[in-house]
Chain A
Amino acid sequence: EVQLVDSGGGLVQPGGSLRLSCAASGFNFSSYGMNWVRQAPGKGLEWVSYISSSSSSIYYSDSVKGRFTISRDNANTSLYLQMNSLRDEDTAVYYCTRESTGGAFDYWGQGTLVTVSS
């Protein structure tokens, strides 16, 4: 059974940092691209970042470029999102998602809440 378990969220002050983790199991993690998608309270879904299976291709939304860093550890089947210089508008539930060969997000983690507030 495919499982993605998100962790690492919490309350952080503006300008602070957090590192999110996503533990993957039940599939060949090293064969799939992975993404982070976030959802601010009461709002829609926003794509944040993508990393290819071998980490050779990485992309970010303009809203996080230069502040967030996506990475993965295929040996430990884990995905990460290092978030620096956090802003109030980064407050959201963050989901890791698996990207199917067709480009859809076919599996999602349960989400981890990041709250940026003083």
Chain B
Amino acid sequence: DIQMTQSPSSLSASVGDRVTITCQASQDISNYLNWYQQKPGRAPKLLIYDASNLETGVPSRFSGSGSGTDFTFTISSLQPEDIATYHCQQYDNLPFTFGPGTKVDVK
């Protein structure tokens, strides 16, 4: 199975800050990497697909980059409504696997 790691596991930032989360795969997954946002008590929501493509309707302050084994997710200017846990997920190989999540808080 492909193992996904994320760092940091949690972070606290101020409104307007740039926030960066990294995700690493245990083997090359090309660009088969998605990012999801999950607010407390809610289902996850797709934000970024294929490593860098913004899902329709998602604000442009969210972005993704990377390929191979190393990926980055960025919020260019953190907003209060961005309080959530962010998950990366690979779909290069079955079983599809998720990272452990990064909890983002606002100071």
Name A residues whose Cβ lies closer than 8 Å to a Cβ of B: 35, 44-47, 50, 59, 61-62, 95, 100, 102-106, 108-111
**Interchain CB contact under 8 A, A104 and B49:** yes
**Interchain CB contact under 8 A, A47 and B45:** no
**Interchain CB contact under 8 A, B36 and A44:** no
The stretch of B19-27, B71-79, B93-101 in contact with A is B93-101
Work out how many contacts link A and B, with CB atoms closer than 8 A: 54
Bound-state CA distance A108–B95 (Å) is 18
Bound-state CA distance A105–B89 (Å) is 10
Bound-state CA distance A65–B44 (Å) is 24
Name B residues whose Cβ lies closer than 8 Å to a Cβ of A: 32, 34, 36, 38, 43-46, 49-50, 55, 87, 89, 91, 94-101
Bound-state CA distance A13–B43 (Å) is 26
**Interchain CB contact under 8 A, A104 and B46:** yes
Pick the residue among A61, A103, A108, A109 that contacts B91 (CB under 8 A): A103
Bound-state CA distance A97–B55 (Å) is 16
**Interchain CB contact under 8 A, A95 and B46:** no
Once A45-B87, A45-B89 are accepted as A-B contacts, the answer to whether A106 and B94 lie under 8 Å apart by CB is: no
**Interchain CB contact under 8 A, A44 and B95:** no
Q: Which residues of chain A are near B55, meaning CB under 8 Å? A: 104, 106
